[in-house]
Amino acid sequence: MWQLNKQQSEPFYSQLIALIEAKIASGELLPGEKLPPERKLAKELDINRSTVAHAFDELKARGILVAVQGSGTHVNEEKWGVAAVQTNWRHYVQKGAFNHEIPYIRKMAEVSTEADVIDLATGELPLALAPSLSMPEMSWQTFLQEETENELLGYMPLRKTICDELKEEQELVVKTEQILVTSGAQQALFLITQCLLAPFDAIAIEAPSYFYSLSLFQSAGLRIFALPMDEEGVKTEELKQLYHKHRIKMVFVNPTFQNPTGRVMSEARRLEFVQTCSELHIPIVEDDPFGPLTYKSGQSITPLKKLDEENVLYIGSLSKVLGSTTRIGFLVGPVAVVRRLAAARQEMDFGLSIFPQVLANQVLSRKAYKTHIQNLHVILMERAKTLTDALTTYAPEILFEKPVGGFHLWVELPLETIQKSDFDALLREKLLVVPGYLFGVKENKIRLSFAQINQDMAVAAAKILQAFYEGLSK
């Protein structure tokens, strides 16, 4: 929605500049996306066309917008995500970053509080599937002692347990000094973007990806370039082209049960991708939150980290298997890199409490943890089938790829285009989904999360989606 505050004394062109910058920063305007024509936007805002032209011209001069011959004004792909040069403190006070919610996300949050909501948007393990956690029999003094001995890299017993788990499940042999315990995977990503990259550095992110919904890349002033995928994973030839054109400094991927597609990068593509990055000297950040959640018993998926231990930073998360309240993640990398990130975290005063680390270590160390993971495999596979069966029966026009792990289903509506505002119809039916544009791709894709689904929810959701498709295809 385009709207100015007519009550403010700030000039309309200045308000429009701030509004466009805000839409770019929040991801509502994507790289390369076309803006409304000057005449149409002026009419919608009830201002003079010359005012719109003034705002567009200033943003073009600063490289934020570009004029494409025969196609109008677009967001500059090469500058997307870079902070505006000029500081407008009034804009910061009135519309700070925490107020720059993507409208659809804000609307979903409002609807989620209503009764009878069908939530297929939440990408977290529901509380009912989380293992029972109990405090170990330790005195308060012992906890305090553990806190004082908590190392810069994290709780040593937990790091040892993570080493054992990686060796057993991933055949990945690492040392404790290569592991940095974090308060979730996003802290690891934040440290990487803030400490290993510099403003205006170019990075490649697979598309689609949930990374596009995170503001930490834009806040670091990075230039973001989409790395296309096919059924086997990211396209290495596209990466080569991006590198030679933009000098890509780092690439971010989620190769196993990818969010949102659920795909697994093939073994052949993994080898090709790792080799290409090694030849081009591009470090890889491998995000692997869903690695343990395969539906195939005994399935072994080789992490990129195992194929190139020196060039890959591996990020794991325990929240997808222990529940969202367990905000524990970890990063595996070269010792020098891990220590640099740990020191930076200490400088930022981002301390990590001993309590969740002790709890996580207790759960991972128990024999019951293996049983918990096996039960999760069965339950998630059943829930995935519940949703796909419902779609096949009640929404036969909708296309999807059957998931083989994780808890996301990527569906496609066979339509040329869908307007972002069209998804409001699903909210009116109290169906929460995540549109594809939030993952950096065309609007005709949708992510459905099935971790907390049941038969009634699946059938109702399928019927709503079919009606939604039929309404748009008329």
User: Looking at residue 376, what is its pLDDT?
Assistant: 92
356 with 378, same domain: the answer is: no
Q: How far is CA 30 from CA 72, 82, 307, 411, 441, in A?
A: 15, 13, 33, 21, 9
What is the rounded CA–CA span in Å between residue 169 and residue 174? 13
Residues 431 and 463 in one domain: yes
Helices within 87-129 (DSSP H only): 89-94, 103-111
Do 308 and 406 have their domain in common? no
Range of the domain at 23: 12-75
* 371 closest CA partner among 360, 363, 382: 363
Whether 267 and 218 map to the same domain: the answer is: yes
Q: Looking at the 3D structure of the chain, how many domains does it have? A: 3
Q: Which residues of the chain have pLDDT under 50?
A: 84-86, 89-90, 96-100
Residue 388 lies in a domain: yes
Which of 367, 398, 413 is the C-terminal boundary of a domain? 367
- Collect all residues with Cβ–Cβ distance below 8 Å to 88 and sequence separation of at least 6: 14, 18
Do 223 and 340 lie in one domain? The reply is yes
Give the dihedral sign, CA 238/239/244/247. Answer: positive
Domain match, 112 and 26 both: no
Q: CB of 363 within 8 A of CB of 161?
A: no
Q: Which amino acid is present at 301?
A: I
Please answer whether residues 260 and 447 qualify as being in contact, where contact means their C-beta atoms are separated by less than 8 angstroms. yes
pLDDT digits over 329-367, tens only?
999 999 999 999 999 998 886 777 888 888 888 888 888
Measure the CA–CA gap between 472 and 474, rounded to whole angstroms. Answer: 6
- Would residue 4 count as lying in a domain? no
The type of residue at 28 is E
pLDDT at position 29: 83
Specify if 1 maps to a domain: no
CATH number of the domain within which 227 lies: 3.40.640.10
292 lies in the same domain as 156: yes
Task: Return the amino acid letter for 35.
Answer: L
Q: In this structure, what token pair is assigned to residue 338?
A: 């891990």
CATH number of the domain residue 417 falls in = 3.90.1150.10
Task: Give the separation between CA 121 and CA 125, rounded to whole angstroms.
Answer: 12
Alpha carbons 119 and 451: distance in angstroms, whole number: 10
CA distance 54 to 453: 50
Q: Which positions ≥6 away from 114 have C-beta within 8 Å? A: 430
Q: Report the pLDDT value the prediction gives residue 368, as an integer from 0 to 100.
A: 86
Out of 367, 384, 419, a domain closes at 367
b vs e for 128-155, b when ≥16 Cβ sit within 10 Å of the residue's Cβ?
ebbbeeeeeeeeeeeeeebeeebeebbb
Residues 308 and 165 in one domain: yes
DSSP per-residue string spanning 252-268: EE--SS-TTT-----HH
Residue 217: exposure state from Cβ atoms within 10 A (0-12, 13-18, ≥19): buried
Q: Are 404 and 312 within one domain?
A: no
Is 95 among the domain residues? Answer: no
- The domain that contains 20 carries what CATH number? 1.10.10.10
Does some domain include residue 170? yes
313 and 429 assigned to the same domain? no
Q: Are 240 and 280 in contact (CB under 8 A)?
A: yes
C-alpha to C-alpha distances, 444 to 109, 213, 300, nearest whole angstrom: 22, 17, 33
CA distance 304 to 332: 12
Q: Which of 386, 406, 407, 408 is nearest to 460 (CA)?
A: 386
* Of 367, 397, 423, the domain-final residue: 367
Cα separation, 315 vs 254, in Å, equals 10
Q: Using CA atoms, how far apart are residues 48 and 231, in angstroms rounded to an integer?
A: 48
User: Quick one: pLDDT at residue 25?
Assistant: 77
Is 332 within a domain? yes
pLDDT recorded at residue 445: 94
Q: Is residue 311 part of a domain?
A: yes
The C-alpha atoms of residue 414 and residue 246 are separated, in whole angstroms, by: 34
Question: How many Cβ atoms are within 10 Å of 84's Cβ, its own excluded?
Answer: 18
Helix, strand or coil, per DSSP, at residue 332: strand
Inside any domain, residue 141: no
Q: Could you give the C-alpha distances from 451 to 3, 123, 317, 385, 387, in angstroms and in order?
A: 38, 8, 17, 11, 10
Does one domain contain both 289 and 213? yes
Give the Å distances, CA to CA, from 56 to 42, 73, 249, 290: 12, 8, 31, 43
Compute the distance between CA of residue 264 and CA of residue 270 in angstroms, rounded to an integer.
10
Both 313 and 169 in a single domain? yes
